[in-house]
Structure 1
């Protein structure tokens, strides 16, 4: 092939590897690296340098970057409980990396250090996988210290000490704002796929991601990951749209807390929750949640009983009338939700949700028909699909 033709192919591939689409919902206006020229790092050291500096960048993840073993290992004590031994379970359990073991026994364990310390991301970054090649193995990312305006797209996060609870979090958001998490995949994570800390996560859109809980180390002893998402920031506003959450067993997601004077508004629209051998939503007070056009299929507990008594404010569009009643507040009808081969989801149409949603009318994303969701989400969620 001639040099000119090779150059043309390279330029085409590079152009395609830039951010695809436009942030919507609460993350609308997020620009990430903006017009920064896309570039792929040549080493782990350069990757970390680019991720952490204060230069606007579009960073291409064009291969598997493997952090496993790069920071050594630790042999220490882990707490073993009934969720570790898993008598009668269908998978191995997870031991706990922690300082106390009041309800179990100490065992010797060995973990990889890299997964336990995330990379702190600088402001104004677009971190974009190329095709289906972009993998961060054994390392998570964290947005904190006021850094903001970040796009994370088309990357597979995997292998963060999946044997251990507290083995590592894939993505942490605390003391940040304007974050778009789009078309990524999360698998084999020790603790949370996504977690917000006590400080604000700000305005966040989590869209078209695959949360894959299949594992041989499970706190539920059922081959399904428990610690999916923990969203408890002080001021958090989420658009959660088009995601495929499957084969998990809990915190899918957990939201809200009474430990701080928090405000957590969550718009969950057109997501597909599938094969959840435990609970999906677990919601505490200080949370306003609008759920529309979602599908739960094969989900034991779509929402926990404690949620319905916690003080959380919920509008789950149980019928077409409830859908029409949205229009006066947000300028559009809401789409009903659908449950198939799943537990019950008690109808909730708390008016305060629509009052709160009216304040954020411009950030309420549109929906598509619920009947199309399983097919659409399976076709679009995850890496290599942009």
Structure 2
């Protein structure tokens, strides 16, 4: 009788812990107003098939991820030819490289390779979804998420997405935005991807808030041959507004992030505030044309190249708050004093103070998130970014 009572109590507590779990907080910044599954009762899938069905259908849902869902091997593997270059062999490097899954190999040689099919075919997320991890248990292993063709009003929170064919370029992206709008990506962890942690396609990503995430680039397979993941964030959508705040980007080597393109007539607004860039063995910001970039309160710690030289001549419009005077100059346009950015054991920080950036952000000043003092960024971000910290 005693054992039965304990079992009943355990079942009750487990149900309470998962059944009442739901989105924590609400998005600020450009994705403000995003509700995801809204009032839909939180539900925990009982099988991989049910998880896939709930994520991809058209029903508003709050989907609880209370365990590791492992997709590796569920869709078979492909053995074929991958392109090997000097970044595959990594002579003198500190890690193995990445061969590329691609159709041509003009600058290298073909080698045999075997990759998992699930990693290259992300789950197509339907509109009005909240996909929420429970505690620190929520993991999607071997498959990413893609929002496209009008996917709208989606929250992805407190999930670790990992192991997307990390040994191969084009092995898989963790989150793809292409023809979406109103997306909140919060308190997640990204690691061991073959390609981008977050990528937008040529279509619109829309209004997006990327907050309090951990981008963990530690890897055994690196295009930079240095044990650091290169393909961090590629944001090139047609008409996009990004709030990027409170994120911890560490042990990466490039595209952290890359913004903008001249391939389309895109227009991208990017507000990067209070992010912690740590141990970046390459470049953080790489900014192309058709962009308006406001950077404030970011901390660069051991970052080889905080902003690439090409960003200075690409046509990008950047306000990077390099001085106290530049911080005060925000007041007339934005109504507040911007926070300056700080560097420690890092490369140079060019003085970029394009007034056009402040003019553009003045039109959307209600969507700008508040900052705090840059000196507090390392401790605050590490304590709060990633899974299990909400």
How does the TM-score come out when normalised to structure 1? 0.98
Rounded Cα–Cα distance in structure 1 between residues aligned with 2:129 and 2:166 = 28
Deviation at 1:244, TM superposition (A): 0.2
The yes-or-no answer on 1:169 pairing with 2:180 is: no
The yes-or-no answer on 1:348 pairing with 2:359 is: no
Deviation at 1:329, TM superposition (A): 1.6
* Match runs of 1:1-386 below 5 Å: 1=5, 5-6=9-10, 9-10=13-14, 12-14=16-18, 17-386=21-390
Secondary structure at the aligned position of 1:362 is classed as helix
Deviation at 1:5, TM superposition (A): 4.4
Secondary structure at the aligned position of 2:272 is classed as strand
CA RMSD of aligned residues (A): 1.1
Deviation at 1:4, TM superposition (A): 7.1
- Range with greater deviation from structure 2 (208-217 or 3-12): 3-12
Deviation at 1:374, TM superposition (A): 0.1
Rounded Cα–Cα distance in structure 1 between residues aligned with 2:8 and 2:269 = 52
Deviations 1:280-334 (A, max 9, x none): 0000000000000000000000010000110100001111221121122222211
Secondary structure at the aligned position of 2:83 is classed as strand
Secondary structure at the aligned position of 2:252 is classed as coil
Deviation at 1:109, TM superposition (A): 0.3
Change (3 A) 1:168 1:322: same
Rounded Cα–Cα distance in structure 2 between residues aligned with 1:358 and 1:164 = 42
Secondary structure at the aligned position of 1:23 is classed as coil
Deviations 1:106-153 (A, max 9, x none): 000000000001110000000000000000000000000101100000
Rounded Cα–Cα distance in structure 2 between residues aligned with 1:6 and 1:65 = 23
Deviations 1:328-360 (A, max 9, x none): 222221100000000001011100000000111
Secondary structure at the aligned position of 1:238 is classed as strand
Rounded Cα–Cα distance in structure 2 between residues aligned with 1:249 and 1:16 = 39
Deviations 1:48-92 (A, max 9, x none): 000011100000000000000000000000000000000000000
Rounded Cα–Cα distance in structure 2 between residues aligned with 1:17 and 1:103 = 50
Rounded Cα–Cα distance in structure 2 between residues aligned with 1:311 and 1:155 = 36
Deviations 1:240-269 (A, max 9, x none): 000000000000000000011100000000
Rounded Cα–Cα distance in structure 2 between residues aligned with 1:302 and 1:24 = 26
Q: Is the 8 Å Cα contact of residues 20 and 42 (structure 2) preserved in structure 1?
A: no
Secondary structure at the aligned position of 1:318 is classed as coil
How does the TM-score come out when normalised to structure 2? 0.97
Query: Gaps spanning 5+ residues in structure 2: where?
Result: none
Deviation at 1:11, TM superposition (A): 5.1
Change (3 A) 1:324 1:16: farther
Rounded Cα–Cα distance in structure 2 between residues aligned with 1:303 and 1:122 = 36
Query: Gaps spanning 5+ residues in structure 1: where?
Result: none
Secondary structure at the aligned position of 2:149 is classed as coil
